Amino acid sequence: MIKSSLARVFFALLKRDLLLAFRHRSELFNPLLFFVLVVTLFPLGTGADTKLLQAIAPGIIWVAALLAAMLSLDTIFRSDFEDGSLELLLLNPHPTSILVLAKVLAHWLITGLPLMIIAPLLALFLGMDQELIGLLVVTLFLGTPVLSLIGAVAIALTVGLKRGGILLSLLVLPFYVPVLIFATNAIEMAMSGLPVTAQLWILGSFLLLAITLTPWPTAAALKLSLS
Amino acid sequence: MMKFIHKTASPPYFYQLSGRWIPWLAGITVLLLLAGLYGGLIVAPTDYQQGESYRIIFIHVPAAWMSLFVYIAMAVAGAIGLIWRIKLAESVAVCSAPIGAGFTLLALITGSMWGKPMWGAWWVWDARLTSELLLLFLYFGVMSLYAAIADKRVASRAVALLALVGVVNIPVIHYSVEWWNTLHQGPTIAKFDKPSIDLRMLIPLLIMATAFKFYYVWALLLRVRVELLERERNTQWVKLLLKQLKG
């Protein structure tokens, strides 16, 4: 038996997940459409006052991104759980926590990255300053992977349940609060012309912490869900 | 030492032992509550700034302390259950959640009752209030996760895992909320920033805090006993117990 190296397994898994997503285009576009729709609803609900929209734009975009990320979490493990490939993943001799990281990375590339690309357009719709749009993209770049990583723990806990939908939001959203606070705060500070390096460093440290810490509970939760 | 722990943690022995503790715990709780309330509502002097309405702290502050304490206790019990597979610890973790949620809710409600005359609003998006509210959501998450999973052994381990993730996150959530609020405009009416607290106020407060701790243990034991009976309903000792009860 040829034992393949961890790196090969990691990239094979990443490639497989990306390929699967590209074959199911709707999985790729639904979170994106949801994101755009939610942002579109806000001006309709609050009135099209430019000043007001400008002031709350970072909050709207980030809350919509949070919800879109949460709704797309199901795709990380659900189909693998249903067709049994998740069990094979756990039987793999390599550490599950690292393999989980490959799946989360694939999820971020499928859902987080498109959000980042479309967000500047929505920011323009809401009348955000053009200089701030770059910053918005940076916060999304640092923040959305954290959402995927934390979400993976929750989805791993609930993947065995038939109706995990509302439960998932209860499990995940309180943990998303710090990311939301620092990301929107960075943009608000920049609006009033203050430096934002501190917020970006903190977001970056959240990302590093999440990468190092979340794979273990995710792997443990997957083992529980399959037991 | 380990032998003692294993013996105490075995469900039948624990059931018997806790049955003997419960009257004592109940008695101590009631006595301490009465003493604390007497000290707080009658002996303690009126506050020169807040008048009589400050007296709610004798409920509010111990409840807020307990809301965090119970979460940590839940996570520790969950960790013990996960690592050493002790069934009793799993039950303790699971049964702590509703009690902790109760304390959190009590802290929130008494806080807003105090906030109405003091701040002029039932709810202020103050850092402490907000992080307490998030803590309540964390408790609800634990409770509904436990309710959602049919196999209770698996459910209690899932809950333990969630509580551990939560306990790492609580400081992060707490401090980011605090930070969020200090950068936004804070409440203009000063909070509890007295230089020192009168001894006649401090002593009833501490008595109440102890009473709440005893109440927690009391309620916990009651819940754990029921949980144990339910989980072990097919074992010999539960059947024997039922037979004895029927006489």
State mean pLDDT over B155-161: 92
Least confident of A6-15, A85-94, B55-64, B183-192: B183-192
Residue from the list B134, B149, B180 with its beta carbon closest to the beta carbon of A174: B134
**Do A181 and B177 make contact, defined as CB atoms within 8 angstroms?**
yes
Matching residue, tokens 């998740």: A86
Contacts of A181 in chain B (CB under 8 A): 176-177, 179-180
pLDDT in tens, A121-165: 999 988 888 888 999 999 999 999 999 999 999 999 998 887 777
**A198 — contact with chain B (CB < 8 Å)?**
no
State mean pLDDT over B233-238: 86
pLDDT in tens, A146-155: 999 999 999 9
Q: Is residue A161 part of a domain?
A: yes
**Do A224 and B161 make contact, defined as CB atoms within 8 angstroms?**
yes
How far apart, in whole angstroms, are the C-alpha atoms of residue A132 and residue A123?
Answer: 9
First to last CA, chain B: 37
What local confidence, expressed as pLDDT, does residue B190 receive?
A: 45
How far apart, in whole angstroms, are the C-alpha atoms of residue B95 and residue B245?
Answer: 25
**A96-111 core/surface letters (b: 16 or more CB in 10 A; e: else):** beebbbbbbbbbbbbb
Radius of gyration of the CA atoms of chain B, in A: 21
State mean pLDDT over A206-224: 93
Tokens of A68: 């879109």
Residue whose C-alpha is closest to residue A184's, from A82, A87, A98, A60 = A60
Does the pLDDT value for residue B183 go beyond 60? no
Task: Quote helix, strand, coil % in chain B, to nearest 5.
Answer: 85, 0, 15
The parent domain of residue A207 ranges over 6-226
State mean pLDDT over B202-225: 93
Which residue in chain B has the smallest CA separation from A221? B158
Does the pLDDT value for residue B104 go beyond 50? yes
Contacts of B169 in chain A (CB under 8 A): 174-175, 178
Does the pLDDT value for residue B189 go beyond 60? no
What is the 8-class DSSP label of residue B51?
B
Share of residues in chain A with pLDDT > 90 (%): 55
What local confidence, expressed as pLDDT, does residue B182 receive?
A: 62
CB B139 within 8 A of CB B97: yes
Contacts of B163 in chain A (CB under 8 A): none
**A200 — contact with chain B (CB < 8 Å)?**
no
Does the pLDDT value for residue B226 go beyond 50? yes
**B158 — contact with chain A (CB < 8 Å)?**
yes
What local confidence, expressed as pLDDT, does residue A28 receive?
A: 82
What local confidence, expressed as pLDDT, does residue B196 receive?
A: 61
How far apart, in whole angstroms, are the C-alpha atoms of residue B20 and residue B17?
Answer: 5
**Do A175 and B173 make contact, defined as CB atoms within 8 angstroms?**
yes
Q: Is residue A46 part of a domain?
A: yes
Crossing angle (nearest 10°) for helices A96-107 and A74-83: 120
Q: Is residue A1 part of a domain?
A: no
For residue B158, the surrounding DSSP H or E stretch is helix B152-183
**Do A158 and B145 make contact, defined as CB atoms within 8 angstroms?**
yes
Which residue in chain A has the smallest CA separation from B149? A161
What local confidence, expressed as pLDDT, does residue A3 receive?
A: 66
Does the pLDDT value for residue B192 go beyond 60? no
How far apart, in whole angstroms, are the C-alpha atoms of residue B171 and residue B134?
Answer: 12
**B162 — contact with chain A (CB < 8 Å)?**
yes
Tokens of A90: 């756990």
State mean pLDDT over B171-190: 65
pLDDT band at B19 (very low <50, low <70, confident <90, very high): confident
Q: Is residue A72 part of a domain?
A: yes
Residue from the list B154, B166, B183 with its beta carbon closest to the beta carbon of A227: B154
**B133 — contact with chain A (CB < 8 Å)?**
no
CB B93 within 8 A of CB B160: yes
Nearest-Cα distance to chain B for A188, in Å, is 10
CB A97 within 8 A of CB A156: no
- Name beta bridge partners: B51: B47
Does the pLDDT value for residue B6 go beyond 80? no
Q: At A47, phi and psi to the nearest 5?
A: 90, 150
Does the pLDDT value for residue B186 go beyond 50? no
Tokens of A155: 């989805």
State mean pLDDT over B94-111: 94
First to last CA, chain A: 28
Q: Is residue A186 part of a domain?
A: yes
State mean pLDDT over A44-64: 89
CB B69 within 8 A of CB B237: no
**B148 — contact with chain A (CB < 8 Å)?**
yes
SS3 A159: coil
Q: CA neighbours within 13 Å on the CB side: how many for B20?
A: 4
For residue A44, the surrounding DSSP H or E stretch is helix A25-46
Does the pLDDT value for residue B188 go beyond 80? no
State mean pLDDT over B18-27: 91
**A221 — contact with chain B (CB < 8 Å)?**
yes
Contacts of B141 in chain A (CB under 8 A): 167, 170-171, 174
Residue from the list B137, B158, B164 with its beta carbon closest to the beta carbon of A224: B158
SS3 sequence of B87-149: HHHHHHHHHHHHHHHHHHHHHHHHHHHHHHHHHCCCCCCCHHHHHHHHHHHHHHHHHHHHHHC
Tokens of A59: 């909050």
Matching residue, tokens 């999304």: A140
Does the pLDDT value for residue B185 go beyond 60? no
State mean pLDDT over A178-199: 89
**ipTM > 0.90?**
no
Least confident of A217-221, B155-159, B174-178: B174-178
pLDDT in tens, B108-156: 999 888 888 877 788 888 777 888 899 999 999 999 999 998 888 889 9
User: CA angle at residue A97 from A95 to A98, to 5 degrees?
Assistant: 75
What local confidence, expressed as pLDDT, does residue B193 receive?
A: 52
Average pLDDT, chain A: 90
Task: Sort A174 into a burial class: Cβ within 10 Å, 0-12 / 13-18 / 19+.
Answer: buried
**B98 — contact with chain A (CB < 8 Å)?**
no
How far apart, in whole angstroms, are the C-alpha atoms of residue B161 and residue A214?
Answer: 11
Crossing angle (nearest 10°) for helices B57-84 and B87-119: 160
State mean pLDDT over A101-127: 92
CB A136 within 8 A of CB A120: yes
pLDDT in tens, A60-78: 999 999 999 998 998 889 8
* Distances in whole angstroms, Cα of residue A200 to Cα of each of A130, A140, A206: 19, 11, 10
How far apart, in whole angstroms, are the C-alpha atoms of residue B209 and residue B18?
Answer: 22
Contacts of A182 in chain B (CB under 8 A): 176
Q: Give the count of beta carbons closer than 10 Å to the beta carbon of residue B121.
A: 11
What local confidence, expressed as pLDDT, does residue B119 receive?
A: 78
Share of residues in chain A with pLDDT > 70 (%): 99
How far apart, in whole angstroms, are the C-alpha atoms of residue B187 and residue A97?
Answer: 44
How far apart, in whole angstroms, are the C-alpha atoms of residue A26 and residue B144?
Answer: 31
